[in-house]
Amino acid sequence: MGKKLKNTGLVGLGVVAGIAVSLQFSAMAQRPADPALPLEELRQLADVFGLIKSDYVEPVEDKKLLTEAITGMVASLDPHSAYLDKKAYAELREGSQGKFVGLGIEIGQSEDGYIKIVAPIEDSPAYRAGIKAGDLITRLDATPVKGLSLDESVKKMRGEPHSKVSLTVLRKDEPEPLVFHITREEIHQKSVKGKIVEPGYAWLRIAQFQEPTVDDLAAKITELYKQDPQMKGLVLDLRNDPGGVLQGAIGVAAAFLPRDAAIVSTNGQLPDSRQTFYGRPEYYLLRNEGDILAKLPAAVKNVPMAVLVNTGSASASEIVAGALQDYKRATIIGTQTFGKGSVQTIRQLTADTAVKLTTARYYTPNGRSIQAKGITPDLQVEENADGDGLNALRLREADLSKHLTNDRDQEAAKAKRDEAEEQLRILMAERKRKPLEFGSGDDFQLQQALNHLKGLPVQTAKQDSKLVQADPVPAKTPLKK
């Protein structure tokens, strides 16, 4: 029962076109094959292929058999390696570019098995139709969403431009289900948003690392400094950020660190997977259009910072948090991160298919491996004043079958989280709580981060049951190279 509850009680990572990996793109290199091919095993594969073709109850296409064989071979390696067929490859490229054809909503799985609206994207078809945060989708056209995975639901909401889909929605305080008929459009998602939360203090959120993220970050920082040139503190929010394009993570960290600071290093089997990435334009620019970070206000290199993370912070967001933590450039606040410390490289096979292959582990500037461990916050602060809510039920990298092990530290023993009574208690409590909007006045973790930046007491994790008196954060935070 415990495992069943865990599966139905998890909240998704705020999916729009989620890429929970650090991606690098490259063409398939023409490397010589190992001459010692396992001929006996290859004969067995050919024998099984022939047996299915001759004896299976109904005919099976050759292409289907071979595609499934490739899919199974790659998927057997680890949770993040995969064969990408034409549709999957197109969706991945769309997600990394920050655009896709759909409705424009961030979604997660509700504890009831429905699709919960985390937030509609501003000026999207869903936003204009009246979809609201907290709504529960029960049907997509005539299909009930119960029993569908989050990925299956996303695929049903995607489609061709100008095509239509009907959403049946349950809304709190509405006696009857609501039906919305929405026309799909190309959605251009901004991965960065921010605002001045109070005089002298800004909140900057990165939802996902995409190709435009560094440009979006630079534009938003410039805008915030125009609004308040005397910035006293900045909160960088990476909660529920599942990762994305590696160059985006390098650029974000580089915005706050010295130009030549090492941001992340990687190590794998191939020589080109053993390298260090620095805070220089050649490591984070995807187009030769000039260094956008060079135009940032100089004060951004020294403004006191706090970084918010949680169980949903994975991969590229862990690279940023780990780098800023190692240089003591920012205080990391929140709960233990997901622990995905591996790099997936996209090796293109044909014009529209590819293999997403784990090619390296990545390490923080101090040589820490995050794989299956994650980033431990400097200040443990849970999502709410009375606990961590549904985050306590989320799976982490170390919970995934066939996960890559940590090669630097012994993995910490996993806490036993399958107790049915505790899960039920959390689920019942969360049903009564209104959906959290990151950056709002009700955002407990954000308020604690602001307290820290002001030198006020911070309420740490419930199990600690204590207030931490923060030392006043200096106007200038020294950087270490």
Gyration radius (Cα) of the chain, Å: 23
**H-assigned helices in 228-289:** 246-256, 281-284
Q: Is 440 in the active site?
A: no
40, β-bridge pairs: none
CA atoms of 351 and 89, how far apart (whole Å): 10
Would you say 270 and 294 are in contact if contact means Cβ atoms under 8 Å apart? no
- Give which of 254, 471, 241 is closest to 338, Cα–Cα: 241
Q: Which of 116, 220, 340, 454 is catalytic?
A: 340
**End-to-end CA distance of the chain, in Å?**
51
Q: What is the 3-state secondary structure (H, E, C) of 324-384?
A: HHHCCCCEEEECCCCCCCEEEEEEECCCCCEEEEEEEEEECCCCCECCCCCCCCCEECCCE
Buried b or exposed e, range 2-24, using 16+ CB within 10 angstroms = eeebbebbbbbbbbbbbbbbbbb
With vertex at residue 79, the alpha carbon angle to CA 73 and CA 83, rounded to the nearest 5 degrees, is: 45
Token pair 């979809």 in the structure block, residue: 131
186, β-bridge pairs: 101
- Give which of 129, 118, 241 is closest to 185, Cα–Cα: 129
DSSP state of 387: B
The number of angstroms, rounded, from the C-alpha of 2 to the middle of its chain's C-alpha atoms is 26
Would you say 235 and 306 are in contact if contact means Cβ atoms under 8 Å apart? yes
CB atoms within 10 A of CB 385: 11
Q: Is 96 in the active site?
A: no
Q: 448: which 2 tokens?
A: 């604690």
CA atoms of 92 and 16, how far apart (whole Å): 11
Q: Which of 135, 326, 388, 443 is catalytic?
A: 326
Q: Which of 153, 315, 317, 342 is catalytic?
A: 315
DSSP string of 16-64, one letter each residue: SS---SEEEEEEPP-PPPPSS--HHHHHHHHHHHHHHHHHSSS---HHH
Q: Is 215 in the active site?
A: no
- Give which of 316, 239, 251, 307 is closest to 279, Cα–Cα: 251
107, β-bridge pairs: 15, 117
Q: What are phi and psi of 384, to 5 degrees?
A: -130, 165
CA atoms of 430 and 116, how far apart (whole Å): 13
Would you say 195 and 235 are in contact if contact means Cβ atoms under 8 Å apart? no
The number of angstroms, rounded, from the C-alpha of 41 to the middle of its chain's C-alpha atoms is 38
Residues with a catalytic annotation lie at 315, 326, 340
